[in-house]
Amino acid sequence: MGDRVIVGLSGGVDSAVAALLLKERGWEVQGLFMSNWEEDDDGYCTAAQDFQDARAIARELDIPLHRASFAAAYRERVFQHFLAEHRAGRTPNPDVLCNREIKFGVALRHARRLGATRFATGHYARILPGSGGAQLHKARDAAKDQSYFLHAVEMEHLAATLMPIGELEKGAVRERARQAGLPVFDKPDSTGICFVGERPFREFLGRFLADRPGPIESADGEPLGVHRGLAFYTLGQREGLQIGGRAGRAQLPWFVARKDAARNALVVVQGHDHPLLFSAALAAGPMHWLSAPRTGAFPCTVKVRYRQADQPAWLEPRADGTARIRFETPQRAVTPGQYAVIYEGDRCFGGAVIESVEPAPGRRAVA
């Protein structure tokens, strides 16, 4: 019998195949289902069905299944920060904190209490050995790679984790599940907020944040309408502005270019590629390094949002642990509160929260 590994079994195909592969490799596999959002009376939370799917997977694989709720930790460590950032007019990414604080924090510790020497997940990423220890690399399937969401996890926690599907394409994962008779082989992927699920976002946010209406203005100060509250909008957003045609203006769609928190004003511009939507550089908060911290400027690639193609840039570390990231090509809708994640080739070197942006030369600031 091999060492015990606890697999975070979500009820989806990816974690199911992760468990399957580890069992085939001789590990003593047990599953852990995490239910961390308890308000499911609105019909959007799928935790109950996901648990039944996890039970069916465990039965098919003949492995024990544990169940735990980390709802209190999720609200304290992830969701309260999520709300605070929105109140401040920023746009957070809760999945990054969810991975760091819950999946690779309290859940990993729980797995160790269950006697596991390793924790495993169905993430699309690879943890490879390197001269300085474990390294985080992109998945083989570039379209499914999730290293962006893992950049803030402590390296010692990633080093204690197995991600067996990181070497596989998504199609191959589904085929392995089908061949093994796993009932979730064709279950759709989840794309909602970590543990909260897929639901109308503004309606959901409105349950926790009050409306705070203010003016919608053009970049030159023309009143255009009234917004619901800065918390309900993000840079680059087009939908939901409810701005009709304006006399004397081109018939182009409007996009959010700036949130003026001091005046509670939403500044919008016309056209997807309006110059005020682009930034030449950003100021990042304290860097979380997945390597020895760098001290001098160096070339890299950066993602400022998930699914974005890697963008060539220069990272300039600062003495206080923060950094400036300068893009080779100006980037659209770089959003404070989101994360800038750093790569060299397939290897992820860490990242940081975007604090502010710098306009491209000859353009006014939009941060």
Residue 242: left (phi > 0), alpha (psi -120 to 50), or beta?
left
Domain containing 241 — which CATH number? Answer: 2.30.30.280
C-alpha torsion angle, residues 310, 313, 317, 321 (rounded to 10): -30
Higher pLDDT, 366 or 308: 308
Q: What is the pLDDT of residues 252-275, one digit of tens each?
A: 899 999 999 999 999 999 999 999
Q: What is the mean pLDDT of residues 300-329?
A: 96
Q: Say whether both 88 and 113 belong to one domain.
A: yes
Residue 192 — very low, low, confident or very high, per pLDDT cuts 50/70/90? low
Residue 365 — very low, low, confident or very high, per pLDDT cuts 50/70/90? very low
Half-sphere exposure of 2 (CA within 13 A, CB side): 13
Q: Say whether both 59 and 172 belong to one domain.
A: yes
Half-sphere exposure of 88 (CA within 13 A, CB side): 13
| Residue 349 forms part of a structural domain | yes
Could you give the residue numbers annotated as active site?
98, 194
CA 259, CA 268: separation in Å to the nearest integer? 9
Higher pLDDT, 21 or 295: 21
Q: How many domains does the chain have?
A: 3
Last residue of a domain, one of 272, 289, 307: 272
Q: What is the mean pLDDT of residues 237-247?
A: 81
Structural domain boundaries enclosing 233: 211-272
Q: Which residues of 112-133 are buried (b: 16+ CB within 10 A; e: fewer)?
A: eeeebebbbbbbbbbbeeeeee
How many residues are present in the chain? 367
Q: What is the mean pLDDT of residues 193-208?
A: 71
Q: Say whether both 252 and 336 belong to one domain.
A: no
| Residue 62 forms part of a structural domain | yes
Q: Identify each DSSP E strand in 200-253 by its residue range.
A: 214-218, 223-227
CA 12, CA 254: separation in Å to the nearest integer? 38
Q: What is the reported pLDDT for 197?
A: 54
Q: What is the mean pLDDT of residues 60-66?
A: 97
| Residue 58 forms part of a structural domain | yes
Ranking 111-120, 194-203, 299-308, 347-356 by mean pLDDT, the lowest is 194-203
Domain containing 318 — which CATH number? Answer: 2.40.30.10
| Residue 206 forms part of a structural domain | no
In order, the DSSP letters of 102-126 are: IIIIIHHHHHHHTT-SEEE---SEE
Q: Say whether both 248 and 283 belong to one domain.
A: no
Q: What is the reported pLDDT for 180?
A: 96
Q: Say whether both 268 and 281 belong to one domain.
A: no
Q: What is the reported pLDDT for 196?
A: 56
Average pLDDT in the chain? 91
| Residue 367 forms part of a structural domain | no
Closest CA to 11 of 176, 163, 185: 185
CA 283, CA 289: separation in Å to the nearest integer? 16
Domain containing 58 — which CATH number? Answer: 3.40.50.620
Q: Hey, what are 216's tokens?
A: 């919608």
Q: Say whether both 194 and 340 belong to one domain.
A: no
Last residue of a domain, one of 172, 201, 230: 201
Element spanning 48, H or E:
helix 47-61
Q: Say whether both 148 and 60 belong to one domain.
A: yes
CA 323, CA 319: separation in Å to the nearest integer? 9
Q: Say whether both 120 and 259 belong to one domain.
A: no
| Residue 303 forms part of a structural domain | yes
Q: Say whether both 14 and 106 belong to one domain.
A: yes
| Residue 325 forms part of a structural domain | yes
Q: What is the reported pLDDT for 191?
A: 61
What percentage of the chain exceeds 90 in pLDDT?
81
Last residue of a domain, one of 158, 180, 201: 201
Q: Provide the edge-to-edge strand list for the sheet that holds 65-68.
A: 65-68, 28-34, 4-8, 118-120, 161-162
CA 32, CA 10: separation in Å to the nearest integer? 8
186 pLDDT more than 50: yes
Q: What is the reported pLDDT for 98?
A: 93
241 pLDDT more than 70: yes
Q: What angle do CA 120, 121, 125 make, to 5 degrees?
A: 110
Q: What angle do CA 16, 18, 20 make, to 5 degrees?
A: 70
Q: What is the reported pLDDT for 247?
A: 63
244 pLDDT more than 60: yes
Q: What is the reported pLDDT for 331?
A: 97
| Residue 365 forms part of a structural domain | no
Q: What is the pLDDT of residues 323-344, one digit of tens each?
A: 999 999 999 999 999 999 999 9
Q: Say whether both 101 and 179 belong to one domain.
A: yes
CA 66, CA 254: separation in Å to the nearest integer? 49
Q: What is the reported pLDDT for 367?
A: 37
Q: Say whether both 52 and 104 belong to one domain.
A: yes
Q: Say whether both 222 and 336 belong to one domain.
A: no
CA 42, CA 205: separation in Å to the nearest integer? 13
Q: Hey, what are 253's tokens?
A: 């769609």
Residue 149: left (phi > 0), alpha (psi -120 to 50), or beta?
alpha
φ/ψ of residue 18, rounded to 5? -60, -45
CB 29 within 8 A of CB 67: no
Q: What is the mean pLDDT of residues 45-51?
A: 80
Q: What is the mean pLDDT of residues 192-217?
A: 79
CB 83 within 8 A of CB 74: no
Q: What is the mean pLDDT of residues 277-304?
A: 96
316 pLDDT more than 60: yes
Closest CA to 339 of 99, 47, 159: 99
